[in-house]
Structure 1
Amino acid sequence: MLAAHRLFPAPLAVFQEIWMLGTERYLFADLGKTLGRAALAFVAAMTIGVLIGGALGRARTLDKLFSSWILIGLNVPAIVVAIACYIWLGLSEFALILAVTINKAPLVAVTMREGVRALDAGLSELALAYRVPFWRRIRLFVVPQLMPFVLTAARTGLSLIWKIVLVFEVLGSDGGVGFRIGVYFQNFDITGILAYTLTFMAVVIAFEYLVMRPLEQRILGWRRA
């Protein structure tokens, strides 16, 4: 507030910008696009990562064959994947979501692979000894052991997806928080950039406290009992 300037806007100016953008509905439209893209990429990456990680964790041969590809997927720069997808598929919604999924899935796969490897063999033997049906064994013995790893992958993945989606929107999209921040950057409008940033951070924090933490408490509450 003491250094109020065009390049260092005061908090009041930023909140006024948020109010103006909200009344003009640009803000909510851009947030909706970004959150929709993040949700689709998150579901796709979690599904693919869980399946790949489960397969690699169960079969050592598959892990030896494909672990190098997982390592490559973890270390290829996200910007390279985005540019390649945009060149191959055009500046489309599908290209953006696919690029985010490719960047996120290897991290989920690695986490789930370690989770499958950490399964308690003694519990599996106990279930077999008592002839517990397959799906009941999965629900009562396997899923509870894997849920901490699933939640870890989900939380770390979300923290990455939020940021990656914004970067990819700056590169090429027809709207979204990242796209709008890119427009403000071209106009050197730091007030608009901070307005969108604060609003997006508020949404992310609200999701963490209203969705992720209650879900974690509900699923893993038995560990604290």
Structure 2
Amino acid sequence: MLVAHRLFPTPVVVFGELYDLAAHGSLIADVTKTLGRAVLAFFAAMTMGVVIGGALGRFAWADGLFGNWILIGLNIPAIVVAITCYIWLGLTEFALILAVVINKTPLVAVNMREGVRALDHGLAELAKVYRVGFWRRVNKFIIPQLMPYVLTAARTGLSLIWKIVLVFEVLGSDGGVGFRIGIFFQHFDMKGILAYTLAFMAVVILIEYGVMRPLEHRVLGWRPARN
């Protein structure tokens, strides 16, 4: 407020720009496109990560063969994966989503591997003694123990996927929040950059408190509350 410069726009100017962009429709269209990409990449990475992590945690030979590849996947720079996918597949929607999935799947796999390793085998033996059916064992014993790890992977992966999708959109896409911020950057338009940032922050906070927190409370409500 004290500086009030073109490169340091006031909150009033930023909110005014946010309203104008939303009124013209470009903001909503870009946010929707970015969210769609993030959601697709999120569910693909979660599905693949859960399967891979479960296999690595369950079978020691699989972890011995592929554990180092998970470590490599965790540490390959995201920008390298994005550029490689763009060179191989072109500046396509599939290349962008594939690059995000490749970056985030190892993170989910590591969480699930630790979750499977931490399963209480005593409960499994107890279920066998009482002749509990397989699917009932999975539903009542295994899934509740794994859900904290799944939710941790989901929250961590989601927070990183937002950022990575935006960076990849700056590198090459036909729309989205990152694409638009890249255009604003070329024109040194700070009010546009901050307006899009505020809009995306609002969406992320809405998903956190409207989806993730209620889901966590519902799924993990059986656990005793911490003092």
Instruction: Summarize the alignment of residues 28-43 of structure 1 with structure 2, pairs less than 5 Å apart.
Output: 28-43=28-43
Offset at residue 128 of structure 1 (A)? 1.0
Distance in 1 between the 2:209 and 2:176 partners?
Answer: 23
CA RMSD of aligned residues (A): 0.6
Distance in 1 between the 2:136 and 2:88 partners?
Answer: 44
Aligned equivalent of 1:129: 129
Distance in 2 between the 1:85 and 1:199 partners?
Answer: 29
2:185 is equivalent to residue 200 of structure 1: no
Aligned equivalent of 2:217: 217
2:189 is equivalent to residue 189 of structure 1: yes
Distance in 2 between the 1:209 and 1:180 partners?
Answer: 26
Aligned equivalent of 1:109: 109
Distance in 1 between the 2:113 and 2:214 partners?
Answer: 25
Aligned equivalent of 2:53: 53
The one-character-per-residue Cα deviations of 1:22-57 (angstroms, maximum 9, x if unpaired) are 110000000000000000000000000000000000
2:82 is equivalent to residue 72 of structure 1: no
* Secondary structure at the counterpart of residue 220 of structure 2: helix
> What one-letter code is carried by the residue in structure 2 that aligns with 1:219?
V
Corresponding residue pairs, total? 225
Distance in 2 between the 1:223 and 1:120 partners?
Answer: 15
Distance in 1 between the 2:130 and 2:99 partners?
Answer: 46
Distance in 2 between the 1:125 and 1:27 partners?
Answer: 55
Distance in 1 between the 2:56 and 2:148 partners?
Answer: 18
Instruction: Summarize the alignment of residues 88-99 of structure 1 with structure 2, pairs less than 5 Å apart.
Output: 88-99=88-99
Aligned equivalent of 2:16: 16
Distance in 2 between the 1:72 and 1:108 partners?
Answer: 14
Distance in 1 between the 2:179 and 2:78 partners?
Answer: 17
* Secondary structure at the counterpart of residue 223 of structure 1: coil
* Secondary structure at the counterpart of residue 175 of structure 1: coil
Distance in 2 between the 1:137 and 1:172 partners?
Answer: 47
Distance in 2 between the 1:222 and 1:129 partners?
Answer: 24
Offset at residue 2 of structure 1 (A)? 1.0
> What one-letter code is carried by the residue in structure 2 that aligns with 1:40?
L
Distance in 2 between the 1:111 and 1:133 partners?
Answer: 27
* Secondary structure at the counterpart of residue 210 of structure 1: helix
The one-character-per-residue Cα deviations of 1:122-160 (angstroms, maximum 9, x if unpaired) are 000011111111111100110000000000000000010
Offset at residue 216 of structure 1 (A)? 0.4
Distance in 2 between the 1:165 and 1:101 partners?
Answer: 10
Output the TM-score relative to the length of structure 1: 0.99
Instruction: Summarize the alignment of residues 116-195 of structure 1 with structure 2, pairs less than 5 Å apart.
Output: 116-195=116-195
Gaps of 5+ in 1: none
Offset at residue 224 of structure 1 (A)? 2.8
